[in-house]
Structure 1
Amino acid sequence: VRLWDVATGHERATLTGHTGTVGWVAFSPDGTQLATASDDRTVRLWDVATGHERATLTGHTGTVEWVAFSPDGTQLATASDDWTVRLWDVATGHERATLTGHTGTVGWVAFSPDGTQLATASTDRTVRLWDVATGHERATLITGHTGTVWWVAFSPDGTQLATASTDRTARLWDVATGHERATLTGHTGAVGWVAFSPDGTQLATASDDRTARLWAIT
């Protein structure tokens, strides 16, 4: 992994230690730390100012597909093709919980804006909602998608969840109940990305049909 000075374009540091492909990186909310995920089955935490490694997080038995910091930066969620998600204490590097239930690769995780919930998306065609404090599953969103779920995003107020799938649809869910609110159809290819506008009134979807679409959220 390499760190670059945005103003000058000069390289600031090369972060070495992984023994496999590094597939994803994420900065902590305060910008002082970087998490890196690899197919060497580890996640590493780095000090951005120095480029030094702070911790190596081990436990996954497959490629780590994704990492995400909690909004307050105290926790890290990691998703893997070992079918699990793990929650880690950033300060200590210790594992807090292993979230099990998915029956396929977990490719994406997202914290709710208030950090109390975690959404996980999988090739098993489901999205699951978890209580971060306890590690317990709150809901499985199993009705609807007929393909891999590639992406999940919480609305800015945390009341809705948007999901994107290879079944060419995006779906909106009520977080409190786990019920589907709407199916957004029109794309003719897999939908790989969804993002809410900052005020939560619109949703953007991107597809391999070479289009992006904007939707009004009511």
Structure 2
Amino acid sequence: LYLLTRPPDPPRWNRTPVAAGQFPTGDLGSVTALAFGPDGRTLAVSGGEDKAVRLWDVARRAPAGQPLTGHTDTVFSVAFSPDGKTLASGGADGTVRLWNTAQRTAIGRPLAAGRVRSVAFSPDGRTLATGDEDRTARLWNVASQAPVGQPLTGHTGWVWSVAFSPDGETLATGGADDSARLWDVASRTAIGRPLTGHADSVLSVAFSPDGETLATGSVDRTVRLWDVASRAPIGRPLTGHTGEVWSVAFAPDGRTLATGSEDRTVRLWDVASRAPVGQPLTGHVEPVLSVAFSPDGRTLATGGGDRTVRLWRP
């Protein structure tokens, strides 16, 4: 006898953040990027125009040491390695920098790339991907800090976002040519044709935890879900935002998708039904540029042009 049950609904998040406010030190600019460390205790924050990266103790909501400095222009993206020992940052100065998170020191020399819009570690931590304004994505050997093969070419506009699949075999890129692309990491070749349907630049891409779904957010104010195996869209676009969708992130259980927008709101979506979960999260007074779930899925961090980071819980 088999009992068929409907899976529980995704949690409805409290519309009042548990923490918010302007950073107490430094000339912090717009919060362009957020990333939780794998233990969930540390949050890396890029203040954009201040050219630095800060590490924050999530429990204390306080700085953990001094800012990481060395970039000479806006920092657009940050990412932790899977073991949390290394942080990557990429920016408008045309470099990627690797940092020892325990010692808070630079590792080796900066990696020279185009103006870097996005960075992402592979699941095994051996490879770093970058998306650049020169219309390419690049793969780097983290240990040697050397490029892996030639840049990935095909986009005809800036590469705004990069993301590895959970098995590390596929890289997704989102571009200013209104498309997303999938790449075979081993051969560094494109998989099939570009994913098209957005009417403007694809600003953010993210794989679901099971690797079966790709989410894309666009300047056209929509979010689209794609079946990775068939490269076909799943249902109709997710609509509701009234501004560009700057950032998308799946919850660790894959049931909820968070999106941050130029319209100053964060929206949560039930991935299975593609329906909104509750009302939008409001409070930011400028565009929401980055969203990130903690590894346990119990906290959502959002950063915006209002120079604040907000933490939300169900």
Scaled by the length of structure 1, the TM-score of the pair is: 0.89
Instruction: Show the counterpart of 2:310.
Output: 213
Where relative contact order (Cα < 8 A, 6+ residues apart) is larger, the structure is 2
Distance in 2 (CA, whole Å) between partners of 1:8 and 1:206 is: 22
Instruction: Show the counterpart of 1:33.
Output: 127
CA contact (8 A) 1:108 1:152 kept: yes
User: Aligned pair count?
Assistant: 215
Cα pair distance change 1:189/1:78, threshold 3 Å = same
Instruction: Show the counterpart of 1:193.
Output: 290
Residue 145 of structure 2 is aligned with which of 18, 35, 51? 51
Identical-pair percentage: 55
Instruction: Tell me the amino acid that sits aligned with residue 292 of structure 2.
Output: A
Structure 1, unmatched stretches of 5+, are none
Residue 137 of structure 1 is aligned with which of 210, 213, 233? 233
Cα pair distance change 1:184/1:96, threshold 3 Å = same
Cα pair distance change 1:58/1:158, threshold 3 Å = same
Distance in 2 (CA, whole Å) between partners of 1:5 and 1:143 is: 38
> As a proportion of its length, which structure holds more strand?
1
Structure 2, unmatched stretches of 5+, are 1-94
Secondary structure in structure 2 of the residue aligned to 1:186: coil
Q: What RMSD, in angstroms, separates the aligned Cα atoms of the two structures?
A: 2.0
Distance in 2 (CA, whole Å) between partners of 1:5 and 1:145 is: 35
Distance in 2 (CA, whole Å) between partners of 1:14 and 1:213 is: 31
**Could you report, residue by residue, the CA deviation over 1:101-127 in whole angstroms, capped at 9, with x for unpaired residues?**
111111111111111111100000000
Distance in 2 (CA, whole Å) between partners of 1:120 and 1:207 is: 19
User: What are the equivalent positions in structure 2 for 1:90-105 lying under 5 Å apart?
Assistant: 90-97=185-192, 98-105=194-201
Kindly indicate whether residue 165 of structure 2 is the aligned counterpart of residue 70 of structure 1.
yes
Distance in 2 (CA, whole Å) between partners of 1:52 and 1:215 is: 38
Deviation at 1:95, TM superposition (A): 0.5
Cα pair distance change 1:54/1:199, threshold 3 Å = closer
Distance in 2 (CA, whole Å) between partners of 1:52 and 1:138 is: 37
Deviation at 1:139, TM superposition (A): 3.2
**Could you report, residue by residue, the CA deviation over 1:142-177 in whole angstroms, capped at 9, with x for unpaired residues?**
431111111111111000101111112111101011
